[in-house]
A and B are shown apart, each in its own frame.
Chain A
Amino acid sequence: MNSYISLTYLDLIGASVFLILNAVFSFVLKLKLERQLLFSSARMVVQLLMVGLVLKAVFAASSAVVTGLIAMVMILFAGREIWARQERKLSGIWGYGLGATSMMFAGSLVTVCALVTQIQPQPWWTPQFALPLFGMVLGNTMTGVSLGLDTLHTALYRERTAIEAQLLLGRTRWEAVLPAARRSLRSGFTPIINAMAATGVVSLPGMMTGQILSGVDPQEAVKYQILIMFLIGGATGLGVLGAVFASIWRLTDQRHRIRLDRMRAAST
């Protein structure tokens, strides 16, 4: 069952017809979305073509150092994305470092474990396996961490009076911020919980669809998808937990105070 059908660039242009049609509708109905639609699709095409070229070169080089460097670049970009998606950020290096570090530890731990114990390519860092896997785990962990931190920081800012009221009654900082922490963790976990609940019933995941389209037996594709979902769920959970509790530690102090002076004003 290996019936891979190669696509031509003409096929891709053909597939874009409906998107262009949407841009035409937007123009006719004066929705003012046509520029955004065209710009983001053009950006997507350029990014993917470039990443295709880069991956081709990285796979050909088959070097642990190059693979590690690419993974670092992915972490740096994802860290920037976590930082940018928060309305209220920690000030200084903490704003970037805390989210990126939590995501890096969670994503790396889960990906390396899966490569070494389950997938077992030879060597374990083989870029064809390591980079796509790391990319999927990192992308989802990034979304969870940014949602968790954004919810936490907004809650601490808006609910400061309520949190301080608990501190004034003799509660510890951990007891006082627990409701906000719970909400932040729930917010960070929701996308992956929803994705797991809907997978296979409402949607077929992109990776599995891609494998099936390229001729892989659906049962094999499903096994890979289950593995990926477990990895993504595990990494997202660890990343969100680490980021939320590290941020609570940073935004409170040993004398059980809320330290909003360690947070930047909201970006407008």
Chain B
Amino acid sequence: MFKIVDLGTRHVGPVTLSVAGGECVAIRGASGSGKSLFFRAVADLDPNEGHVDLKGRSREDMPAYEWRRQVALVPAETGWWADRVRDHFVDDGVEALLEAVGLPDALDWEVNRLSTGERHRLGIVRALQAGPRVLLLDEPTASLDADMTAVVEGLVKQQLVDDVCVLMVTHDPKQAGRIAHRTMIMRDGGLHSASGAMA
């Protein structure tokens, strides 16, 4: 369903990878190995070369803003541009998602009072609003306690049931074992299968 062919930037790649609908791929690797840059390239946020297809439709065939609605990246550091949380959500149909991540009243909060963990959970909800077919999650549970980690993992599993494919950067091999169907290792800008073979 989701095909990446020879995707590369000045710092990463070339990377080739296929992910099926409903499949979760965990990406691990040392800090600075290029995991976040790889995600930025997939989301077309940095200049890059190569091909990325979603359901047979090439990224180049659609405007970047349409691509990013279907291939949603939640970066490790979420960005906020208005004072109120409510102003970052496009419509009112988010209550169920906010409930699911344990933040039912968050729309009425001020952004500058959010903790890092709350920002992360709200960032995921924000990305899910547009109903993406691919989710790129960069360390989605890095600043969460065990309970909230379980909540976010549950949300990711729910997306997999709905046939969304998920690529997730994690440093935790146990987490990769819990929700990913396979694990890839990013090393020196290249993506390798955990068994050692080049992807």
- Enumerate chain A interface residues (CB-CB to B < 8 A): 159, 161-172, 179, 253, 255-257, 259
Given A159-B81, A163-B81: A256 and B63 interface contact (C-beta under 8 Å): yes
A168 vs B123: C-alpha distance when bound (angstroms): 11
Chain B contact patch, size range: 20 to 34
For this complex, 27 residue pairs linking A to B, each with C-beta atoms less than 8 Å apart, are A159-B81, A161-B79, A162-B79, A162-B81, A163-B81, A165-B80, A165-B123, A166-B79, A167-B65, A168-B43, A168-B74, A168-B75, A168-B127, A169-B68, A169-B126, A169-B129, A169-B130, A170-B68, A170-B69, A170-B130, A171-B65, A172-B65, A179-B81, A256-B64, A256-B65, A257-B44, A257-B47
A257 vs B45: C-alpha distance when bound (angstroms): 5
The reply to whether the CB of B73 lies closer than 8 angstroms to some CB of chain A is: yes
Question: When the two chains form the complex, which single residue of B63, B64, B72, B123 contacts A257, counting CB atoms closer than 8 Å?
Answer: B64
Contact B72 A161, beta carbon cutoff 8 Å: no
The closest CB in chain A to the CB of B73 belongs to: A168
Compute the total of residue contacts between A and B using a CB distance below 8 Å.
Answer: 61
The reply to whether the CB of B99 lies closer than 8 angstroms to some CB of chain A is: no
A178 vs B76: C-alpha distance when bound (angstroms): 24
CB of B78, distance to nearest CB on chain A (Å)? 6
Contact B81 A165, beta carbon cutoff 8 Å: yes
The reply to whether the CB of B92 lies closer than 8 angstroms to some CB of chain A is: no
- Enumerate chain B interface residues (CB-CB to A < 8 A): 43-47, 63-66, 68-69, 72-75, 77-81, 90, 123, 126-127, 129-130
The closest CB in chain A to the CB of B123 belongs to: A165
Given A257-B44, A257-B46: A170 and B66 interface contact (C-beta under 8 Å): yes
A162 vs B73: C-alpha distance when bound (angstroms): 14
Set of chain B residues within 8 Å of A162, measured between Cβ atoms: 79-81
Main secondary structure of the interface of B (DSSP, over half): loop
Set of chain B residues within 8 Å of A256, measured between Cβ atoms: 63-65
Contact A167 B81, beta carbon cutoff 8 Å: no
Given A159-B81, A257-B45, A257-B46: A169 and B64 interface contact (C-beta under 8 Å): no
Given A162-B79, A256-B63: A168 and B45 interface contact (C-beta under 8 Å): yes
Contact B46 A163, beta carbon cutoff 8 Å: no
CB of A213, distance to nearest CB on chain B (Å)? 51
The 4 A-B pairs of least Cβ separation, nearest first, read A165-B79, A170-B69, A161-B79, A162-B81
A168 vs B80: C-alpha distance when bound (angstroms): 12
Besides A165-B75, A165-B81, 14 new A-B residue pairs in contact (Cβ under 8 A), listed by A number: A163-B79, A165-B80, A166-B79, A167-B45, A168-B72, A169-B69, A170-B66, A170-B68, A170-B130, A179-B81, A255-B44, A255-B47, A257-B45, A257-B46
Set of chain A residues within 8 Å of B123, measured between Cβ atoms: 165
Set of chain A residues within 8 Å of B127, measured between Cβ atoms: 168-169
Set of chain B residues within 8 Å of A259, measured between Cβ atoms: 47
Set of chain A residues within 8 Å of B75, measured between Cβ atoms: 161, 164-165, 168
A165 vs B89: C-alpha distance when bound (angstroms): 12
The closest CB in chain B to the CB of A253 belongs to: B47
The closest CB in chain A to the CB of B47 belongs to: A257
Given A168-B127, A170-B130: A255 and B78 interface contact (C-beta under 8 Å): no
A66 vs B75: C-alpha distance when bound (angstroms): 58
Set of chain A residues within 8 Å of B129, measured between Cβ atoms: 169
CB of B177, distance to nearest CB on chain A (Å)? 28
Which one of A167, A171, A255 has the greatest number of beta carbons of chain B within 10 Å? A255
The closest CB in chain B to the CB of A258 belongs to: B45
Set of chain A residues within 8 Å of B63, measured between Cβ atoms: 256
